[in-house]
Amino acid sequence: MLIWVAALHCEASPVIDFYRLKKSHRDKAFDLYLGDDMACIVSGVGKLASAAASAWIAARYRDEASLAWINIGTAGAARHDIGAIFLIDKIVDAETAKSYFPAPTSTPLLPGSACLTLAQPSRAYREDCLFDMEACGFISSALRFSSAELIRCIKVVSDNRHAETGRNREQVSALIRHHIESIERQATDLLALDDEVAALEFPAESWQRLLAMAHFTQTQQNRLRVLWRYLCNRNLGPEALLQELSTRKTAASMIETLERISYSDSETL
């Protein structure tokens, strides 16, 4: 299952039109558009809205074996041309300085860039990254339900020091639509990987032993299942992982340890 997350309708519409997604009239919390193996949700502007929309749709599809994600939208840049497209390889929250790292498993077909997520619009562009208002909210939420290799963030430059088109909805749609074939290749690659992950199994006995080590809330179990499936299929071995966790006393510390191992492993992909 592939989930697209966009802040605005004008950012989502090229995807909706290309895949002929149909609006759901029974879902009221967010505007949602559905296809056979994907959904596109319009979150609204800002990292909190993006995080909330991502969590909401993950809950809606909680019975799916695996979820893949693409955040599609526009960004500002200091030195890149209007219309340039990037696959984000590092996301930084400007308020907390926390960093996130999507981890595509194949050689990217798009140029990479870091992205700084701001709480408010700004024209104080930095030379070393793009700027948006949603990416860190999106990925912080998506990582609770999927591992990093199933999460991608694609940004098209709509504003720079010389021109601003981000407030023109028709132009925003046109900028994204211009790259729809490149975006579709990313989606196809991600769907194939999602199918592989959905087919992965992890030892039931080790899973039950893991759950018995602490009290995990349902939300923590969701995150735990993602991490456990990923790590057990990276030849790290459930026994070694259980031994690593044996000195941890709380559910939160166990999840933090598995996240650290997962992030370290994903850097080698």
CA dist., res. 152 & res. 195, Å (int): 16
Q: Residues 227, 169: one domain?
A: no
Q: Residues 167, 235: one domain?
A: no
| Confidence tier at 109 by pLDDT (50, 70, 90) | confident
The answer to whether 56 and 38 have CB atoms below 8 angstroms apart is no
Q: Give me the pLDDT at residue 268, please.
A: 55
Q: Give me the pLDDT at residue 140, please.
A: 95
Which of the listed residues 175, 198, 221 is the one where a domain comes to its end? 198
Q: Residues 26, 149: one domain?
A: yes
Q: Residues 212, 189: one domain?
A: no
Q: Give me the pLDDT at residue 256, please.
A: 92
Q: What is the pTM of this model?
A: 0.82
Q: Which domain holds residue 232?
A: 202-266
Choice between 80 and 149, residue whose per-residue pLDDT is larger: 80
Which of the listed residues 174, 198, 222 is the one where a domain comes to its end? 198
Which of the listed residues 167, 198, 229 is the one where a domain comes to its end? 198
Q: Residues 178, 191: one domain?
A: yes
Helix axis angle for 251-266 and 238-245, nearest 10°, is 130
Element (H, E) at 75: strand 68-76
Choice between 121 and 159, residue whose per-residue pLDDT is larger: 159
| Spatial CB neighbours of 2, under 8 Å, sequence gap ≥ 6 | 37, 38, 39, 68, 69, 70, 187, 190, 191, 194
